[in-house]
Structure 1
Amino acid sequence: MRPDGLEKGLAPAKVNLALHVTGRRAGGYHLLDSLVVFAGVGDQLTALPANDLALEVEGPFSAGVPLDERNSVLRAAYALRQARDVTQGARLKLTKTLPHAAGIGSGSSDAAATIRLLSEFWGVEPLAPDAPEVLELGADVPVCLSAPTPMRMTGIGEVLDPAPALPACGLVLVNPGVEVPTAEVFGKLERSENGPMDDLPAGLDYAGFLGWLKAQRNDLQDPAEAITPEIGRALARLRRMPGVDLALMSGSGATCVGLTRDMGRARQVARAIQLSEMGWWVAPAPLLS
């Protein structure tokens, strides 16, 4: 803990660089095979001492965010406190800079950041990604607890394996100002039985990594584009930009991602898109590892 009692934590954007839907379990849960990475941009969480738990939300995407137990931050805080028999509280402040329902794990990353932050703040062991309390918080929370390590995520999101080291590169995250309900996207899938992701070789350079990515898929992209045609427009915009070597959709959308060789190119691309698409959310960020 810092001398002033303030703890800070980043809830980084979760990016699915590949997402294969490989089956469906009884009960309706889809089986996935996905390469998940994290971008160096996200929501910010801070904590101050308090007798009980309280939450304040600010930032450009704070509108409509609940301040009760519907919020993933408070749910994660209560889960950790109960699991570790903590009697202290915390006054939490969440600065929302990631858009909602955007395919980049905003709420799940917030929950994971809460567990990391408060475990240090309270001096207790964090919850493991496979802990029942974590799984109850949401399918993406286990992988978000692994941030910033890139992970291969399988099962319904609970089976995690560290990916080989990835080459440094820049990401340009673009959301065309629309929310896409994940359940609706899965509901439009034509088939759930699809081939798995190829194994990711170790030691790839940037060109080799691009080649591997181009051979993978996001099985949710077609249904997401059918629901939200703006996704296709965002992808086309990224593909036209000099410096963008590959453009793809993350998760269930609508956020699209352009890969660049370095952060200088990522910043240039982001600035050009920001100037021409004033209503879009655009953020350059490094791929974390």
Structure 2
Amino acid sequence: MLKSEFAPAKINLTLEILGRRSDGYHELRSLVAFAQDVGDVVELASGSLSGVEITGPFAGDISGSNLVDSAIAAFAEKVPGAAPNRLSLVKNLPVASGIGGGSADAAATLRLLSSAYPEVSEPDLLTMARVLGADVPVCIRARPVMMTGVGETLDEVALPHDLYAVLVNPLAGVPANKTSQVFASLGAATLAGTPSKEPTPRFSRIDDVIAYAKARGNDLEAPALRLLPIIGTVLADLRRLENGLLSQLSGAGPTCFTLFKTRSEAEAGALALRLRQPSWWIRPTRLG
């Protein structure tokens, strides 16, 4: 019987880079949400096919080993003999796009493999996830959180149910080391000490989310724009959409988003943008 796990797109509603730590990693603070109906799918089934089969519209953009392979290896190390006979990835999200596609795929793989091993707990999965990358732990839970440290501290946040977005990626070519180039261009200052922990924000209304996200922004937006100027075109087009509340970059880009109060407004915005930019990847979704 086919088993599957949804790997939702991860959206950085905010991304503050607080400085570079003595170990070379960057201290961050990010309000993270997940698309409820936009993402990849990892499937597990019986069969004799070895390795990971990749299908979907962006399958051709993945070459060599990927985080799904790494997740399988990490799980097999924890649970010997647990490697699947057949595992496939339906790649619906653009690659290297700032919405955590690879990390979400790895997290979904760990969740899927653990479904057959009840002795593997969520803390076990988080331990495996931390080895795979800074964004993998937040994708294990795939729920709204305030993410701090280097991604290891996750405080759950309640978002209003009726928070919608249009996600847009211009499908422009990005360098393989995009994220490292963006961070290098940012040139974050060295941290003098451990940043003080802020209280976890509370959001009663969408307006609270908008006000918070607008005030915090995304510190990677300016350096990402220098590397990929087309991000400026995307943001300008998004800011023209009727009923759009806030438009920002997610992660290191180039995917950007605009927030809306209703699904119909988000869908209308996506349709209007597709008419202007038919070659772009454009998806309306609810965030949660």
- Are 1:130 and 1:158, in contact at CA under 8 Å, matched by a contact in 2? no
Aligned counterpart in structure 1 of residue 66 of structure 2, from 68, 71, 81: 71
Distance 1:53 1:89 in 2: 8
- Deviations 1:124-163 (CA, angstroms, capped at 9, x unpaired): 525537754322211100111111x101111111111111
Structure 1 stretches of 5 or more lacking a match? none
Q: Aligned pair 1:18/2:14, yes or no? A: yes
Q: Percent identity?
A: 39
Distance 1:126 1:53 in 2: 26
Deviation of residue 166 (structure 1)? 3.3
Aligned counterpart in structure 1 of residue 157 of structure 2, from 159, 163, 180: 163
- One-letter amino acid of the counterpart of residue 245, structure 1: L
Q: Aligned pair 1:187/2:184, yes or no? A: yes
Partner of 2:147: 153
Q: Aligned pair 1:85/2:80, yes or no? A: yes
- Deviations 1:6-52 (CA, angstroms, capped at 9, x unpaired): 10111000000001111212232111111111012100111102468
Partner of 2:275: 275
- One-letter amino acid of the counterpart of residue 228, structure 1: L
Q: 1:64 to 1:176 in 2, by over 3 A?
A: closer
Deviation of residue 56 (structure 1)? 0.6
The secondary structure found in structure 2 opposite 1:243 is coil
Deviation of residue 279 (structure 1)? 1.7
Partner of 1:228: 228
Q: Aligned pair 1:59/2:56, yes or no? A: yes
- One-letter amino acid of the counterpart of residue 273, structure 1: L
Aligned pairs (5 A) from 1:1-289:
5-40=1-36, 41-50=38-47, 53-66=50-63, 70-87=65-82, 89-126=84-121, 128=123, 131-147=126-142, 149-178=143-172, 179=174, 181-192=178-189, 199=199, 201-288=201-288
- Are 2:224 and 2:253, in contact at CA under 8 Å, matched by a contact in 1? yes
The secondary structure found in structure 2 opposite 1:92 is strand
Q: 1:73 to 1:87 in 2, by over 3 A?
A: closer
The secondary structure found in structure 2 opposite 1:63 is helix
Following superposition, which runs of at least 4 residues in structure 1 exceed 4 angstroms of deviation? 50-53, 129-132, 193-200
Deviation of residue 81 (structure 1)? 2.0
The secondary structure found in structure 2 opposite 1:251 is coil
**Further displaced range: 43-52 or 24-33:** 43-52
Q: 1:196 to 1:168 in 2, by over 3 A?
A: farther
Structure 2 stretches of 5 or more lacking a match? none
Give the superposed CA RMSD: 2.2
- Are 2:203 and 2:209, in contact at CA under 8 Å, matched by a contact in 1? no
